[in-house]
Amino acid sequence: EPVALMGTPPAGSLAERAGLHSGDKVLASSADGMDWQALQSLPELTSEALAAIADGRKLYLQVDGSAAGRGRHTLVLATDTLESREIDAATQRRLGLALFGEPVVGRIVLGGAGERAGLHVDDRVLAIDEQPISDGAQLRELIRAAIGPDGQGRTMQWRVERGGQVLPLEVTPAVVDDAGSKVGRLEIQIGGKPAMTRVSYGFVEGIVRGAERTWDTAWMTLKMFGRMIIGEASLKNLSGPLSIADYAGQSVRLGLPAFLGFLAFVSVSLGVFNLLPLPMLDGGHLMYYLFEGLTGRPLSQWWQQQLQRAGALILVLMMVLALSNDVVARLPGLH
């Protein structure tokens, strides 16, 4: 898994306000600043941060800033100040936990703004408009923010290192819609493969960790369903088969551990959904058995038929909503 080595956090994000800097390595997290849990990788850090957001509490971090001469210190992510408890891309962006990556150009889309600007694979970006570039996260943010007053891409002055030579380039990003906001995009991949670490546990600890992660995932899923029902979370959080297939493809490209982790997350979420007290689901049948156990008689055939119809209607509406969320998310013009 990727090491919890931080890149430059987005401006105004919780990570920036907390004092995270490029090159900082997060070592441990805590819910109260006293009971610390060691973190071996970025996914563990992200999981702790998302749990803090869902619970509406702060997250304390122990950070090693030796690479920048800051030594070991403690800081606080104010995850309790977020108005939204929705675990979506916008929330994660406001959180600002960016993975460190070298400011190197990877894959370039043919015909994209990056190719038109003259960028080559393996170009190392040294500076933009005389501002030194420290990592890939900072480079991505500057590209996204390169929008002029007229709403068009703003031309930037780049200095790149190519084959031992420093070259000047004029780079103008295309402007695209990203969740309702206009951002710059060059159609290039930024950063090489991140630093990786092998995360392993003993047999007993592995079982305990698995049980804890399963419980945390199930509880977070249940809380999100509850917030959607009472209106505290948007119904856009309900994803359908298109989103599941998309994320599955992304996890495959990250490797077998990421793919298996994604499958486990989907399985637990579907298990929680199946246990909701809705007719036609297993949770609905459990409600019938509970009624019979409490009253000593089964639910009448008429009531069972009416509840089955209501349950079928609710499930169809949920499937339609999930599929429509998938389609809208992939048609930027509808945002």
Q: Provide the whole-model pTM.
A: 0.64
Q: Among the residues of the chain, which ranges form H helices?
A: 14-18, 42-55, 89-95, 113-116, 136-144, 203-230, 241-254, 256-274, 282-295, 301-329
Is residue 309 domain-shared with residue 272, that is, in the same domain? yes
Rounded CA separation 144/178 (Å): 10
Is residue 235 domain-shared with residue 327, that is, in the same domain? yes
Residue 330: predicted pLDDT: 56
- Of 155, 190, 225, which one is at a domain's C-terminal end? 190
7 in any annotated domain: no
110 in any annotated domain: yes
327 in any annotated domain: yes
196's enclosing H/E stretch is none
3 in any annotated domain: no
Is residue 322 domain-shared with residue 210, that is, in the same domain? yes
Structural domain including 77 reads 14-95
Residue 132: predicted pLDDT: 93
Is residue 143 domain-shared with residue 246, that is, in the same domain? no
Count of structural domains within the chain: 3
- Of 77, 95, 113, which one is at a domain's C-terminal end? 95
Rounded CA separation 300/153 (Å): 66
Residue 254: predicted pLDDT: 67
If DSSP codes are grouped into helix, strand and coil, which group holds residue 42?
Answer: helix
Residue 179: predicted pLDDT: 61
| Side-chain half-sphere CA neighbours of 8 within 13 A | 15
195 in any annotated domain: no
- Of 133, 158, 190, which one is at a domain's C-terminal end? 190
Rounded CA separation 101/8 (Å): 10
DSSP string covering 90-142: HHHHHHT-PBP--SBEEEE-TTSHHHHTT--TTPEEEEETTEE--SHHHHHHH
Residue 332: predicted pLDDT: 44
Rounded CA separation 48/201 (Å): 18
Rounded CA separation 117/131 (Å): 19
Is residue 185 domain-shared with residue 211, that is, in the same domain? no
Is residue 170 domain-shared with residue 62, that is, in the same domain? no
Is residue 229 domain-shared with residue 110, that is, in the same domain? no
Is residue 111 domain-shared with residue 186, that is, in the same domain? yes
Residue 324: predicted pLDDT: 81
Residue 244: predicted pLDDT: 79
Q: Which segments in the chain show pLDDT lower than 50?
A: 332-335
155 within 8 A of 171, measured Cβ to Cβ? yes
1 in any annotated domain: no
Is residue 87 domain-shared with residue 28, that is, in the same domain? yes
Angle between helical axes of 203-230 and 256-274 (0-180°, round to 10): 50
CATH of the domain at 38: 2.30.42
242 within 8 A of 331, measured Cβ to Cβ? no
Residue 107: predicted pLDDT: 82
